[in-house]
Amino acid sequence: MDKLIPIEKVLEENPRVQELEKQGYIIKPENIEEYLDDYKSRSTTLPDENYWKDKKVLITGISGFAGSHLAEQLLDLGCEVHGTIRRHAVPMHENIEHLRGKIFLYEADITSAERILSIFEEIQPHAVFHLAAESFVPTSFREPVRVTHNNIVGTINIFEAARRFDNNLESIHVACSSEQYGLVDPEEVPVTEDLKINPFRPRSIYGITKVATENIAKLYHNSYGIPSIITRGFNHEGPRRGIQFVTSVIHRQIVEILEKRRSNILIGNPNSIRDFTHVKDTVNAYILVSEKRNYGEPYNVCSGKGITIADYCKLAKKIYNVSTEVLVDPKRMRPSEVPLLIGRNDKIVNDIGWKPIRSIIDIIKEGVKYFQEHPEQLGIEAH
């Protein structure tokens, strides 16, 4: 068994990170008030209810983390919401149980071209949000062939169906990922959409499949006129985030500490820097970019600020006034790490009017509250 390491022995000093901190791109718990002051006056463009009212919308992966939040927002806009779900041994999809009776669900494997074609033919959607994918990066290392088949073949099936049944189709959005950028040179941070400045250097099979997803969307737009909408989402977090993702690993352990069920926090690489956006802000971006219909144009969806996983832990501990030790578990390290990833959101802010309006404090508090309200998800070991 790999030995747990006190976090202090693993922390690294990085001159580029210190430089980014001076430039205002790094969130530090010690200066959190300055960061929060910026959010007090924040506002964002909101979707046009008149545009979305009564539109038939299809969400692939509706029972997932982002899919469930997207469904809620589209229902609030007056859409008729349809979604694909994968067959489970038991018919339970916790993230959308509260939406039963309000949405239309279709059991489907997106790798089945026949099934996807039949769903498109039945619904004839006005807008599609393609979120269905194997999105947990470590899974793509453990099962690279399955993840590749699911994410790439599934996306081709969605676009083939769109090509066949596009009479009403106004937009088909693909949720791409910051993992496409991969191993970013520290001098290239923050990352822009311009591939001449920030070329794709994916460091996982998942990242490679998302490069393919974006290229499929561009190909079908350029070749067939399919109304492709492309976003490159950085880490989006909040309530319902899968227990295996780092923020939920931390949130869940904070709850267990508050309940005196554990005495420490275990994490992977504490030096990784990520750009976290609240999931509700992220799906608002998906809707807005689809509404504005800038076809074939990729948009970063991010906060524009990063935080180390070590400081994320420190901030969570500070919020809940816990002084427990943080330990690094070598088993939680990725085979191929992406150490630094912060996005630049100028393009979506200027073109679309979108801004993130929920802070990292909101992400932590709502994430912890979710696990407090769902004790059945506590005590499950996550990696």
DSSP secondary structure, 173-219, as one string:
EEEEEGGGTBS--GGGPSBPS-TTTS--B--SHHHHHHHHHHHHHHH
Q: What does the alpha-carbon distance between residue 342 and residue 305 come to, in Å, rounded to a whole number?
A: 6
Q: What three-state secondary structure class fits 5?
A: strand
Whole-model pTM over 0.85: yes
The residues, ordered by sequence, that sit 6+ positions from 197 with a Cβ below 8 Å of its Cβ are 188
pLDDT of residue 89: 44
pLDDT tens-digit series, residues 103-117: 999 999 999 999 999
pLDDT of residue 135: 74
CB atoms within 10 A of CB 106: 17
Q: Are 247 and 241 in contact (CB under 8 A)?
A: yes
pLDDT tens-digit series, residues 28-78: 999 899 899 999 989 999 999 999 999 999 999 999 999 999 999 999 999
Q: What does the alpha-carbon distance between residue 381 and residue 244 come to, in Å, rounded to a whole number?
A: 8
- Strand ranges (E), 86-182: 104-107, 127-130, 171-177
Eight-state DSSP code of residue 237 = E
- Amino acid letter for position 376: E
- Residue 332's nearest CA partner among 65, 2, 8 is 2
Rounding to the nearest 10 degrees, give the CA dihedral for residues 141, 145, 146, 149.
Answer: 130
Q: What does the alpha-carbon distance between residue 356 and residue 280 come to, in Å, rounded to a whole number?
A: 9
Q: What does the alpha-carbon distance between residue 333 and residue 268 come to, in Å, rounded to a whole number?
A: 5
Predicted confidence pLDDT, tens digits, the chain (383 residues): 468 998 999 888 888 889 999 999 999 999 899 899 999 989 999 999 999 999 999 999 999 999 999 999 999 999 999 999 987 544 568 889 899 899 999 999 999 999 999 999 999 999 999 999 987 777 888 899 999 999 999 999 999 999 998 789 999 999 999 999 998 988 999 999 999 999 999 999 999 999 999 999 999 999 999 999 999 999 999 999 988 889 999 999 999 999 999 999 999 899 999 999 999 999 999 999 999 999 999 999 999 999 999 999 999 999 999 999 999 988 877 666 778 899 999 999 999 999 999 999 999 999 999 999 988 877 544 33
Q: What does the alpha-carbon distance between residue 34 and residue 6 come to, in Å, rounded to a whole number?
A: 29
Q: In DSSP terms, which residues pair with 130 in a beta bridge? A: 60, 174
Domains for the chain: give ranges and CATH numbers. Answer: 5-40+237-275+305-342+358-377 (3.90.25.10), 50-236+278-301 (3.40.50.720)
pLDDT of residue 243: 85
Report the percentage of the chain scoring pLDDT > 90.
78
